[in-house]
């Protein structure tokens, strides 16, 4: 078991529906990370922006971006995380990939399609909540709109980290800030949110506000609105264990079963 988990969060502009240019941009940013980290996190739909043009943006699991993630993970000796549009069995998914240095890939399909943008009509919803076990840490990955649904994130699996990648726009950024903090507090876990910045082709503005909160809701990251940033944060297993043991809030959680 590894006591500390060092993560790097990359808050970036995205080039609309241009996987090649986005891969080049992120490769340049990855080169700037010169210290050893365990996990590097990219935003939601990091190859395309939040597009409903699934046929244009989609790749396959054997495609160039997945190979790029495998290469980057091996080269940097770190896990690489982000979501992209994947076509599989005649369906389109907003799929988060957790790619480990030795080539293992864990996937999570976004459960809650953002109906305000019609995502629920374009992309097939996931049906499985995923827990990733990596270096002795248990990580629960989710995507953007999932953040508004606390039951889907409820810590019934004793995970250590709740992770969101997002394209969360400026008009609702207060909700993003508030809900990330709430998810950390109610689940007594670290909560990580990685958002993008800049304008997309629909003229929606994204202000960043990527953040990491500890189990008591303390923000560990700097103010980073409206700019591209790379920030490294070290998570502590003992911080989780001491606070859970001392406070015991998770012992009083309700029991329930999820149906999908």
Whether 20 maps to a domain, the answer reads yes
Planar angle of CA 79, 83, 86, nearest 5 degrees: 120
Report pLDDT digits (tens) over 134-153: 999 999 999 999 999 999 99
What percent of the chain is predicted at pLDDT more than 70? 100
pLDDT in the model for residue 240: 98
Question: Is there a catalytic annotation at residue 219?
Answer: no
pLDDT in the model for residue 184: 98
Whether 217 maps to a domain, the answer reads yes
Question: Is there a catalytic annotation at residue 144?
Answer: yes
Q: Work out the average pLDDT over 29-44.
A: 97
Whether 72 maps to a domain, the answer reads yes
The candidate with the shortest Cα–Cα distance to 65, out of 21, 8, 131, is 21
Whether 259 maps to a domain, the answer reads no
Report pLDDT digits (tens) over 159-200: 999 999 999 999 999 999 999 999 999 999 999 999 999 999
Residue-number span of the structural domain to which 32 is assigned: 4-252
Given a cut of 80, is residue 258 above it in pLDDT? Answer: no
> How far apart are alpha carbons 84 and 107 in whole angstroms?
11
Whether 23 maps to a domain, the answer reads yes
| Among 44, 59, 100, 119, the one annotated catalytic | 44
- Give the up-direction half-sphere exposure of residue 105: CA atoms within 13 A in the CB hemisphere: 17
Whether 257 maps to a domain, the answer reads no
Name the pTM for this structure. Answer: 0.97
Question: Is there a catalytic annotation at residue 102?
Answer: no
pLDDT in the model for residue 254: 85
Residue 79: strand, helix, or coil: strand
Given a cut of 80, is residue 127 above it in pLDDT? Answer: yes
Could you give the number of structural domains in the chain? 1
CATH number at residue 229: 3.60.110.10
Q: Work out the average pLDDT over 43-56.
A: 97
| Among 100, 110, 186, 191, the one annotated catalytic | 110
Given a cut of 80, is residue 37 above it in pLDDT? Answer: yes
Whether 258 maps to a domain, the answer reads no
| Among 17, 59, 100, 144, the one annotated catalytic | 144
Residue 235's pLDDT band, with cuts at 50, 70 and 90, is: very high
Whether 260 maps to a domain, the answer reads no
């Amino acid at each position: 078991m590894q006591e500390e988990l060092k993560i790097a969060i990359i808050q970036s502009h995205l080039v609309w529906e241009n996987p090649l240019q986005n891969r080049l941009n992120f490769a340049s940013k990855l080169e700037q990370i010169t210290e050893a980290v365990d996990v590097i996190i990219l935003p939601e739909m990091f190859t395309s922006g939040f597009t409903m043009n699934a046929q244009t943006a989609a790749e396959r699991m054997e495609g160039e971006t997945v190979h790029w993630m495998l290469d980057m993970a091996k080269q940097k000796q770190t896990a690489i995380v982000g979501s992209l549009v994947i076509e599989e069995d005649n369906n389109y998914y907003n799929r988060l990939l957790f790619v480990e240095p030795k080539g293992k890939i864990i996937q999570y399909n976004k459960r809650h399609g953002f109906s305000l943008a019609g995502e629920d009509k374009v992309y097939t919803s996931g049906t499985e909540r995923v827990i990733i076990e990596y270096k002795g840490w248990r990580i629960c990955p989710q995507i953007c709109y999932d953040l508004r649904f606390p039951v889907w994130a409820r810590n019934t699996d004793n995970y250590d980290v709740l992770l969101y990648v997002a394209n969360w726009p400026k008009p609702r950024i207060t909700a993003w800030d508030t809900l990330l903090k709430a998810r950390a507090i109610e689940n007594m876990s670290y909560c990580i949110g990685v958002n993008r910045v800049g304008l997309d082709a629909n003229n929606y503005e994204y202000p960043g506000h990527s953040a990491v909160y500890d189990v008591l809701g303390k923000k560990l990251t700097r103010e980073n609105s409206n700019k591209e940033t790379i920030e490294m944060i070290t998570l502590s297993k003992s911080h989780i264990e001491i606070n859970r043991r001392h406070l015991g809030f998770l012992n009083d959680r309700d029991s329930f079963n999820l149906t999908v």
